Amino acid sequence: MAVAIGASAGGPKALQTLLAEFPTEVPVPVLVVQHILPRFVEALVRRLQEASPLPIRVAAAGEVVRAGLVYVAPGDRHLTVRRGLRGSQLILHLSDAPPRHGVRPAADLLFGSLAETCEAGAIVVVLTGMGKDGLEGVRAVKAKGGVAVAEAEESCVVYGMPRALAEAALADVVVPLPEMPRALGAILRERAAALAAS
């Protein structure tokens, strides 16, 4: 099970708010794609770490994904995950593939890779931002039984990426940012129980 978050305009502050209260009772890895200039990524990670009790780092190619850690995509490289030698392991992969929707990293690629590797255990979150990045990735996650959460318009700085999900009727949960940690906690507990029973 893993959580992936996509954000653009207004995302850094939204990520601070979400990660400060991120539910920890069901430990999962958290993968983040934030549309941001490469030179600001390290500063973003420092700001997020100051706000959150979770360890946060810039994603490194070949790293084994661990529950309870937050991995932020580096500047100007796509972040995806692949299966490791042990089937349950996820390995971080970085790519210089062309931008998607004019951005690199793109949430679509991260979400799509989770759909292939994590299947029903994938939970994707789309926060404030312009454009439609994340839409196709969410579609792939939903097709494999994953869950999609979108930030409600009332708390978005730019209601673009979440709007795309809402208009496509792909969001399972639409919630204002202050209520998102509680909503994610409920989803994680439900998913953990379902996986344990399967």
Mean pLDDT for 135-142 is 97
Q: What is the DSSP string of 99-163?
A: PBTTBSS-HHHHHHHHHHHTGGGEEEEE-SBSS-TTHHHHHHHHHTT-EEEEE-GGG-SSBSHHH
Asked if 83 contacts 90 with a C-beta cutoff of 8 angstroms, the reply is yes
Mean pLDDT for 4-21 is 98
Q: Which of 65, 2, 79, 67 is nearest to 35 (CA)?
A: 79
Global pTM value: 0.97
What pLDDT was estimated at residue 84? 84
Report residue 88 as tokens: 């349950």
pLDDT of 125 above 80? yes
Mean pLDDT, rounded, of the chain:
95
Residue 185: pLDDT band by 50, 70, 90 thresholds?
Answer: very high
pLDDT of 108 above 90? yes
Mean pLDDT for 165-185 is 97
pLDDT of 41 above 90? yes
Asked if 152 contacts 176 with a C-beta cutoff of 8 angstroms, the reply is yes
> CA-CA distance, 152 to 130, in Å (whole number)?
14
> CA-CA distance, 165 to 173, in Å (whole number)?
10
Mean pLDDT for 46-66 is 97
> CA-CA distance, 193 to 198, in Å (whole number)?
9
Greatest Cα pair distance in the chain = 45
* Burial environment of residue 105 by CB neighbours within 10 A (0 to 12, 13 to 18, 19 or more): buried
Residues with active-site annotation? 8, 35, 133
Percentage of the chain exceeding pLDDT 90: 90
Residue 87: pLDDT band by 50, 70, 90 thresholds?
Answer: low
Mean pLDDT for 5-26 is 97
Q: Which residue has the higher pLDDT, 81 or 198?
A: 81
pLDDT of 74 above 70? yes
One-letter amino acid identity for 7?
A
What is the number of residues in the chain? 198
Report residue 99 as tokens: 């931008």
> CA-CA distance, 107 to 4, in Å (whole number)?
8
Alpha carbon distances (Å) from 56 to 46, 121, 132, 152, 160: 8, 21, 26, 25, 26
